[in-house]
Amino acid sequence: MSTTPQDISKVGVIGCGLMGSGIAEVCARAGLDTLVYEVTTEALAAGRNRVEQSLGKATDRGKLTAQERDNALDALSFTTDLDAFADRDLAVEAAPENAEMKLGIFSTLDRIMVQPDALMTSNTSSIPIMKLASATTRPGQVMGLHFFSPAPVLDLVELVPTLKTDDTAWQRLHHFAADVLGRRVVVSQDRAGFVVNALLIPYLLSAIRMFESGFALAQDIDDGMVRGCAHSMGPLQLADHIGLDTTLAIAESLYAEFKEPLYAPPPLLSRMVEAGHLGRKAGRGFYDHSLR
């Protein structure tokens, strides 16, 4: 039987943290049968609560009707058993930015997903997709599907094919992202950082170096870019929002690929991550978020 671009109806999301929960919500709001996986029941409960709160806020703000919220909730299911992904048409890996962890997930998905044309995608911010595809026996069906946080609000998605991507698989994923989910699609070659983070991370690291050197205070750096360049958020505030651990992981991946000094993580960033000062999610980063 031939496949059509419309045949993706069952989606699996691996990970229900900040990104995974947002991706799951986007898929559920599009009316897709959406199964979400987490490693522990505690993480799964936290993720479910995150999605429910987000849908509730969207309803309160008039972005969703009560019926649309209820339909999205009905489309969602949750599991700690990755074997439940056997019938999925599409899997979206949204695990932490750790290459070895992601390679293990893709190897497992390759074994589990029984649909011969199932698509396996990664929400990675920086890891080359071909590296992840090499963990499978069907690399032509592995691509990058990179959302931005918060996924229910920001409509951009980066699509990343590899040297092995199958044309039909690519057409199906592009149709899914652009037409089923209604995302604004940008296409990147398979290189660390893709389009957005290859430009964004050097900017954030430059701001961290400026602060680290004592050149300017954090608030002054951020105010300069918000009020002087019309950015919606300053670079240090944005790093806190992204997570300093994630910012560090992306920088390390970029530096490993390109060996260019602008991608090298500043020592202060490494020390802050080691200290657990990870930004907004930890309550402390360049700012004290417990007071906000």
- Domains 5-187 and 196-282 alike in fold: no
What are the sequence ranges of the domains in the chain? 5-187, 196-282
Span 73-120, pLDDT tens digits: 999 999 999 999 999 999 999 999 899 999 999 999 999 999 999 999
User: How does pLDDT run along the chain (292 residues), one tens digit per residue?
Assistant: 344 445 899 999 999 998 999 999 999 999 999 999 999 999 999 999 999 999 999 999 999 999 999 999 999 999 999 999 999 999 999 999 899 999 999 999 999 999 999 999 999 988 999 999 999 999 999 999 999 989 999 999 999 999 999 999 999 999 999 999 999 999 999 999 999 999 999 999 999 999 999 999 999 999 999 999 999 999 999 999 999 999 999 999 999 999 999 999 999 999 999 999 999 999 999 999 986 6
Tokens representing residue 23 in the block: 């991706």
Q: Is 146 a catalytic residue?
A: yes
pLDDT at 7: 83
239 vs 209: CA distance, rounded Å? 13
What is the CATH code of the structural domain delimited by 5-187?
3.40.50.720
For residue 150, say if its preceding peptide bond is cis, omega within 30 degrees of 0: yes
From 25, 38, 93, 146, the catalytic residue: 146
From 158, 188, 241, 253, the catalytic residue: 158
Q: Is 125 a catalytic residue?
A: yes
From 125, 126, 188, 253, the catalytic residue: 125
Q: Is 126 a catalytic residue?
A: no
Q: Can you give the chain as a three-state secondary structure string?
A: CCCCHHHCCEEEEECCCHHHHHHHHHHHHCCCEEEEECCCHHHHHHHHHHHHHHHHHHHHCCCCCHHHHHHHHHHEEEECCHHHHHHCCEEEECCCCCHHHHHHHHHHHHHHCCCCCCEEEECCCCCCHHHHHCCCCCHHHEEEEEECCCCCCCCEEEEECCCCCCHHHHHHHHHHHHHHCCCEEEECCCCCCCCHHHHHHHHHHHHHHHHHCCCCCHHHHHHHHHHHHCCCCCHHHHHHHHCHHHHHHHHHHHHHHHCCHHHCCCHHHHHHHHCCCCEHHHCECCCEHHHC
pLDDT at 290: 84
Place of tokens 């919606």: 232
From 197, 241, 253, 277, the catalytic residue: 197
What is the CATH code of the structural domain delimited by 196-282?
1.10.1040.10
